[in-house]
Structure 1
Amino acid sequence: MQLLECSLTIDDLDAFVAAIGEIGDRHGVTIQAFDARYVADPRHLERAVAFADRAIERGENVARDRAVEILLYAAGRRQIDRALEMGVDEGENRAVVLVDSREGDRRAERDALAALRKLDAVAGEEPALASLDEKRLCEFFEITDAEREATDASLGDLVRERVALLEVEK
């Protein structure tokens, strides 16, 4: 798995989704774009990929598309429409674009990243995960102040716990 942290300017969301889907198909990788404000850290997405792949292998996936299944796990939700809030939208976005070859083909991932960087929507690379929007993460993942006060776990740990709980709640 590799990540492109960037700013995106998306004029047409359907065209952007089609373009990243075409790049994914051409390079044999899965690509999913996330609004960086909803991503706790890279391990959050690594965990989502692992659980999505396990669900697919077991035939327990909700979505037919691997990218959507990864989005569901990253969001800690089984409803696609609710998970889509974590995706990018038209306009300006601080984003994290996940590129993953299920077979571990790092060259395919690098080639796909190079193609992504050439898209008009990619306004520039930036450290999108450098600062957390703690309030947004807590609201989205329903992490209460009381829960945070009761543990010394990081916010990233608590978000990853929500990803794992989705697996348990099936």
Structure 2
Amino acid sequence: MELFECTLAIDDLDAFVADIGAIGDRHGVTIQAFDADYIADRAHLERARDLADRAIDRGENVARDRAVEILLYAAGRRQIDRALEMGVDEGETRAVVLVDGSTGNEGVHEGNGSDSTADNDRERQGERAALEALTALEAVGDCEPTLESRDEVTLCAFFEITEAEREATDADLGDLVRERVALLEVEK
């Protein structure tokens, strides 16, 4: 999984979504763009991806599209409309774009590991090619770190994390957000 941090200036959201979908299809990767204000850290997206893949493998997914299933887990919600709040929108947005070449079928390749190594190499090549294509999109502005500074107010409001909850634990905000993501699995 690769994360592409940038500023997006989107004039037409439908066209942007179609563009990143076409890039994903062309390179055999899943691409999902997020408003960086709603992402706690890299581990937040890794956990969402892993849980989405597990749901898909078990046939328990809500969305037909892997990118949307990852979005649902990242949001800690089963309602697509509510989860879309953390996606990008028209206008300028500090964004983080997830690019993942894995299929989510962990443990499928057994034996000597050579098939698995070849698959991993193909996945990485697809991710790199997709990242290069993403940088060429008209909507992509500055490539800059967007996850270094968190919008704690937005995260707490979106994930319904209260001040009392934060004071009652030694866990940091990222831990609490990842807990919400994991709870989605329990609440199904």
Band the TM-score falls in, shorter-chain normalisation:
over 0.9
CA RMSD of aligned residues (A): 0.6
The percentage of counterpart residues that share the same residue type is 78
- 1:82-97 equivalences under 5 Å are 82-97=82-97
Find the partner of 1:116 among 111, 118, 134.
Answer: 134
Which residue, 106, 125, 129 being the options, matches 2:124? 106
- Alignment match, 1:19: 19
- Structure 2 gap segments, 5+ residues each: 104-119
1:136 lines up with 2:154 in the alignment:
yes
Q: Which residue of structure 1 aligns with residue 170 of structure 2?
A: 152
Q: SS at the partner of 2:77?
A: coil
Counterpart of 1:139, as a letter, is A
Structure 2 counterpart of 1:69: 69
Aligned length: 170
Q: TM-score, normalised by structure 1?
A: 0.99
* Deviation of the 1:102 alpha carbon: 1.6
For residues 148 and 40 of structure 2, the distance between their equivalents in structure 1, rounded to whole angstroms, comes to 10
Q: How far off its partner does 1:124 sit?
A: 1.5
Residue aligned with 1:124, SS: coil
Give the letter for the 2:25 counterpart: D
Deviation at 1:152, TM superposition (A): 0.5
Shift of residue 88, structure 1, vs aligned partner: 0.1
TM-score of the superposition, structure 2-length normalised?
A: 0.90
CA distance in 2, matches of 1:106, 1:140: 32
